[in-house]
Amino acid sequence: MQHVRDCGPQLFIISRKGGTLLAINDFIYRSNLRRFGPLGDKVYWECIHNRSKKCRSRLKTIGDDLYVTNDVHNHVGDRQRIELARRSDHTALWSLQPSIVDWEKVTQYCTTDFK
């Protein structure tokens, strides 16, 4: 498992359905499990192509630390989708720490009228 310490603000995208997505290295991840332990800061992420293409790439964030549990993707990156989200103001730079991230504020900041 690869560990990246204090990776700072990351790019978040608001999906069409209002979900929060995390964009890292031209790939997009959705949170599939949040564990609010003693610090309330553990989030598990899976590739957005997990169901459609059976991609098994996964991340875990604990505070501002990023743990790559599987970085192998079976598809090309999502650069075009990320750029589209940036151009249409569906993105925000925020800390990874869930206790710092105000998810409602992120959702309000990013409009959700994807086409």
pLDDT (tens digit per residue) in 74-91: 999 999 998 988 888 777
Q: Give DSSP secondary structure letters for 84-99.
A: HHHHTT-EEEE-S-TT
pLDDT at 27: 93
Q: Does the pLDDT of residue 115 top 50, yes or no?
A: no
What's the rounded Cα separation, in Å, for the pair 40 and 93? 20
Q: Does the pLDDT of residue 110 top 50, yes or no?
A: no
CATH of 2-109, one of 2.20.25.240, 3.90.190.20, 3.30.365.10, 2.60.120.10: 2.20.25.240
Q: What's the whole-model pTM score?
A: 0.74
Tens of pLDDT, residues 23-54: 988 999 998 877 766 766 788 999 999 999 99
Structure tokens at 28: 């997009």
pLDDT at 113: 40
pLDDT at 80: 92
CB neighbourhood size of 61 (10 A): 23
What's the rounded Cα separation, in Å, for the pair 12 and 86? 10
pLDDT at 9: 66
What's the start-to-end Cα distance of the chain, in Å?
37
Tens of pLDDT, residues 3-27: 676 565 688 888 888 888 999 889 9
